[in-house]
Structure 1
């Protein structure tokens, strides 16, 4: 191969002699309290490296060959001589080594592990007050708990009791890690073959398992809510991770204590209780038997507050196996807040039609009226849960589409003050929800989701009316307006066609007549987020409905296209980018009639020039990216102005793009070039980004065709991009050149290029580009020389190397050790290899 780029370094051994040589000095630095210890990042990398070593080699052999590691672990037993950071590292390192049973026995001989993890060791030191030390202690124990010897150690050293106490640690990270460790120990204890096969009663379980279960039982009986929460969290993780027969025995033993929690007032740890019940219900162990689970779930639904019961109701309805009676109860829990809203706001009492007579209504009303935050939180949760449930195949049937629509429209009107409730409860709700933005956002999201269902036609005008209220209202925040636009788009796109009407159902033409004046107003909003949302809505609407006569008539009688063109010069870059997309969509649909008439056919040419000006002169990247994306789509679609002289168009665009400082613009420029080549050479049979040899020769690739394809402006852009400092650009250039090389492979032998001076010149220029000298141009080389260069480059190898993670450049263990030693001056400066 004449031309090789990006040579690879050979792989390093996991523990090579150089690293072994540096380890004693590093261990001495870590053990010396006078030396500034390396930062946490270096210690994490060092620990990751040791984990990699122990996964591939014997930990015992590693310690025997590097006794400095054992010396370091022994040294940290003198707490006054070590920093908390190094102590935490050493605890985790010891656990990593002790994960292998023979190494565990080796470390146990000198009672090193007992000194680090036992009750008389680390726990009594002043450093134990540092959360990172307690966390390192837990992580070390979790790492070593991998074999039977570790179980005996945990039982005899008192470590399990310490884990119990750490469940209530003030550090949430430590407390969570302690609960996770208990589950890990319990699963390890029950891993024995006899236990798994016979699923014995809890009284016959291993000692460690019995101790943990007894602790959970005691915590469940406690009147201290945090202790109950800790026990429930341990059980939730256990049933979520462990799906062996013994978990059924565990549930039989503990479910009566769980059920007893429901007898307390209030029910303690409601959210944790919900998590536990759903974890048990999802376990495959309980798929064929309920073990009293469904009765407990039903009782819990009726005892928890509406806010706590909502997640349990949703989780129950999403289960594949669940009694129908329980599904009905769960759905009733979800619908109850909306039923209360309808009942409170309706003019005719008892006409809500949604869960009339359902129990628990008084609790829900109390929650809705207790405070503004409680009311908003409950309604937002309810609407989000129903939105999540609506598209699922296991949603309840029949789905109450009409009552849900009435409820969400009522909520939106309560929020904007347009509702006129007759009851005192409705009046209080109106005052509570007035101007509540989060409820407005949640209700508009759900209203948009409901557009996917089949709605009674008599309710559709109400939907459009409330949407128009929000689009018109000066009080609508930018985020609420954005969601109102999204919901409006959903309802417009889902509107059924009606025979006898020109294009749409009877409600749409009237609504469009009211919509466009509002849209014009929003396109002129002083808030850029509103202008941007309006443009996005306008673009999507034009894309879907640009061919409909009613829509075209309403649009062309408005000023929306003119305003959109003016926004190409908006002060905000996001708006300019959205205006580019909107104008491109209007142009592709022939909807820019307000900008020009048949007597002025230069509109398309003017738009093209304006886009080219944006691409070359706009100071922000977003509009320039939008322009190149539009140009690429125009090229794909055969846009008239582009099709007149495709080659000149692509050459002009790439000349500008090649100088752009935004890597996304350059990537999109390469996409444009690839679309151009694909059109000229023929689209591949598979994915256009996949690389493969052509299925057969391409007889149409005559020398004059190759000359047209191998234009310097195209190949120079692609080759320069191959050496781009932004990896996505180089990857895209590599894909493009692979495509060009493979599509022109049948012409590879049309000329012998052995000592072609043109080829030598091109290769020399590319080598200078690779070295960072970008000044010289390729000039006008022969197509045969360019094809020869393509064949000489290892594009497949380069593609593979570009796909590697960004830290592949240099992260050898030796480099890490040298850097850590250089930081404290142990190595000379020129020996460090920072990365």
Structure 2
């Protein structure tokens, strides 16, 4: 330990031991514990206590105080600290000599104090024992001190955090007790279990036989964690002993702790110990699938289908269970549920599913949302069932959306009741749209596209669609349009897409004029992504230019909502890149006549919100990277104008994006960076760079160098990091040049260096001026850019996180609190 920290520890321990002193911040105590853990892991805990007896005095003093005088936070800290020291066996024995550990963790200690009612104390007690239980002596202590029995009761604690920690500690003790046990020991009867392990197993058995659901849940949670973490041979013996009790739970009606039971079975199935074992697990799972309610069975079915190794018969059963709600939906409407025999179900199973769907609106909504989410999760997995019933799933998603918007045609009384339950339900609409979007991948035919496009158009047109439903509908539409089958040479939109686009753009126009800003924003995002992919296709260009969408997008550059303005900037940038921006035919659009660059520059200089300004600089960077026609006409004027505004912007993200624009310009001017550099990018071929002196003078004249050096000393670290990388690249590209290495006038170079030092100190009023190439190169060499890079990569609080600083801060806080205590009379 650092000598200065050892010097400060006695004073801090005295503060912690004094009931009249208040430690201001619990976070400080947690940081202190982390530090002690680091110190003990690096050396001897016993030596630490012998060199700093104040630590033992603190633990002893906590026990000597009257229970009502002990601060709960200090007591919790002391328990954790004692466990940290006792994690090493020799230190454990040292603390045991004075019965200190028994006083802290035994039944006569905090368990009997009033402070035990505070969850923080109970949590600290568990954490201390968790640290202590690392060796045989610690396990023996837990078994003899009554701690294990206390953990049993804490499993049902009112604090979920405490209850979970108690279960986790029981699993840890069980695993530690069984460490190194061979496959054949203990025996299947359990007569060779170590004492601690036997006590835990007996408790779990008793809970599994209990008629109280909370006790069953606690036992199942312990077993779930055990099989999830422990993959030793003894876990197979444990399962063989307890699996009959687990299976017996299925005979109850209703099944107790069904969700926890599902978690347990899946945890056992995932364990590599049971990969090839014949332990009756699959039979139990199959039986449980038929016993659980539809909602509970769905989670088990999904878990089974995600397993790497599972009997095919069980997988088929699980998939049928997962598809049952959709089959009932299809049967209740005009759709047929796929080829005969695909989803044959027992009449009892189908009847139970229908009863669940029709029992209440909340049950119907919950079951459908869960089913759609499960199938969405399963769809991209390589182990999903094959053949995958794509047609059935698409038809089911379409029908569900039609039930929600009222356009479905029920074929039975059940269908009519479903229409009533799902009408206008935005929660089911969102789930169905998400699922429909995932089904766009891997579609083998275009037969389903007309009905998919039709229901998406209905959703986008409906005045009842909420903003979030519209956002999901735009996302699903985008996925289906972008995932259309296409040959490798060019995008073939096929017969359905052009017609759909002609119907889509009038709807998009309507949404761009929505009074709800979230809808306008979603519509602009949709337009941006669609244009990026299809901007070069004739059908798309024709449909877009025949609509009012480009002009409406331009008008939204002046939208009152900043998020919408930012999205409009991005959309207009994409439209302009594809040559699809609006063209005014009347003098009524002065902003169109001045050009898009002028409009975006106006936003960059005048918009009061950061989002639109950031979007403008991102668009300008992409235009420069792609050699946009308006930028290529006068690139130097463009860069200089943008930087003049960006350098004065108060938003650090705008300044950082401005440095990205500079980087693109430098690469185009000086050539590609070293491929090993982290900031290397791929850019289109540009005009070969001119002679280096002229290039450097141009950089200075455009104020690029001034902007980069100022950004190097920016108070926002991301900006400074980007500037440092930029200057390192510039130095690398100019280093091999001869004839420019020696400056012509050393006094000028000294002046430049002095200016940079003043900037670094925060005085940036003096401009750098137009540097000569020699002065620029000398300034680059004079800066320790690698040192800057290293310091910028460090955490911003690397100095304040030192242990010495932590101790000083805690002592200073107590002093401040004392100074603020005053008699108000």
Name which of 7, 10, 16 aligns with 1:30. 16
Question: Is 2:611 aligned against 1:625?
Answer: no
Q: Is the contact made by 2:437 and 2:476 (CA closer than 8 Å) also made in structure 1?
A: yes
Counterpart residue number, 2:737:
747
Structure 1 moving runs of 4+ over 6 Å = 347-353, 600-605, 826-829
Name which of 795, 815, 819 aligns with 1:805. 795
Counterpart residue number, 2:245:
257
Alignment of 1:665-676 (within 5 A): 665-676=654-665
- Separation in 2, partners of 1:61, 1:160: 30
Question: Is 2:601 aligned against 1:612?
Answer: yes
Counterpart residue number, 2:647:
658
- Separation in 2, partners of 1:164, 1:640: 74
Q: Is the contact made by 1:502 and 1:550 (CA closer than 8 Å) also made in structure 2?
A: no
Name which of 408, 422, 425 aligns with 2:414. 425
Name which of 620, 623, 647 aligns with 2:636. 647
Total equivalences in the alignment? 806
- Separation in 1, partners of 2:578, 2:142: 73
The alpha-carbon deviation at position 83 of structure 1 amounts to 0.7
Counterpart residue number, 1:75:
61
- Separation in 2, partners of 1:498, 1:712: 46
The alpha-carbon deviation at position 354 of structure 1 amounts to 5.8
Q: Is the contact made by 1:535 and 1:578 (CA closer than 8 Å) also made in structure 2?
A: yes
Counterpart residue number, 1:376:
365
In structure 2, runs of 5+ residues without a counterpart are 682-687, 820-825
- Separation in 1, partners of 2:121, 2:69: 15
Counterpart residue number, 1:363:
352
Cα distance change, pair 130–84 in 1 and its aligned pair in 2 (3 A): same
- Other structure's SS at 1:458 match: coil
- Separation in 1, partners of 2:756, 2:487: 64
Range that drifts further, 803-812 or 195-204:
195-204
Alignment of 1:440-589 (within 5 A): 440-496=429-485, 503-589=492-578
- Separation in 2, partners of 1:159, 1:604: 81
Range that drifts further, 457-466 or 152-161:
457-466
- Other structure's SS at 2:736 match: helix
Question: Is 2:723 aligned against 1:737?
Answer: no
Counterpart residue number, 1:62:
48
Cα distance change, pair 672–348 in 1 and its aligned pair in 2 (3 A): closer
Counterpart residue number, 1:12:
none
Q: Is the contact made by 1:402 and 1:455 (CA closer than 8 Å) also made in structure 2?
A: no
The alpha-carbon deviation at position 792 of structure 1 amounts to 2.3
Counterpart residue number, 2:822:
none
Range that drifts further, 197-206 or 509-518:
197-206
CA RMSD of aligned residues (A): 2.5
Counterpart residue number, 1:150:
138
- Separation in 2, partners of 1:497, 1:822: 69
- Separation in 1, partners of 2:571, 2:54: 68
Counterpart residue number, 1:110:
98
Name which of 277, 281, 287 aligns with 1:289. 277
- Separation in 1, partners of 2:333, 2:62: 70
Alignment of 1:33-44 (within 5 A): 33-44=19-30
- Separation in 2, partners of 1:745, 1:652: 29
Q: Is the contact made by 1:748 and 1:787 (CA closer than 8 Å) also made in structure 2?
A: no
Name which of 316, 322, 345 aligns with 2:310. 322
In structure 1, runs of 5+ residues without a counterpart are 1-14, 693-697, 830-835
Name which of 145, 148, 161 aligns with 2:149. 161
Alignment of 1:703-718 (within 5 A): 703-711=693-701, 713-718=703-708
Name which of 748, 752, 767 aligns with 1:762. 752
- Separation in 1, partners of 2:433, 2:802: 53
Compute the TM-score of the two structures, normalised by the length of structure 2: 0.94
Cα distance change, pair 699–826 in 1 and its aligned pair in 2 (3 A): closer
Cα distance change, pair 601–358 in 1 and its aligned pair in 2 (3 A): farther
Cα distance change, pair 604–809 in 1 and its aligned pair in 2 (3 A): farther
Compare relative contact order (CA 8 Å, sep 6+) and give the higher one, 1 or 2: 1
The alpha-carbon deviation at position 503 of structure 1 amounts to 4.8
Q: Is the contact made by 1:84 and 1:130 (CA closer than 8 Å) also made in structure 2?
A: yes
The alpha-carbon deviation at position 594 of structure 1 amounts to 4.2
- Separation in 1, partners of 2:530, 2:306: 34
Compute the TM-score of the two structures, normalised by the length of structure 1: 0.93
The alpha-carbon deviation at position 660 of structure 1 amounts to 0.8
Question: Is 2:398 aligned against 1:412?
Answer: no
Name which of 67, 92, 96 aligns with 2:84. 96
- Separation in 1, partners of 2:717, 2:183: 50
- Separation in 1, partners of 2:591, 2:462: 39
- Separation in 1, partners of 2:521, 2:578: 21
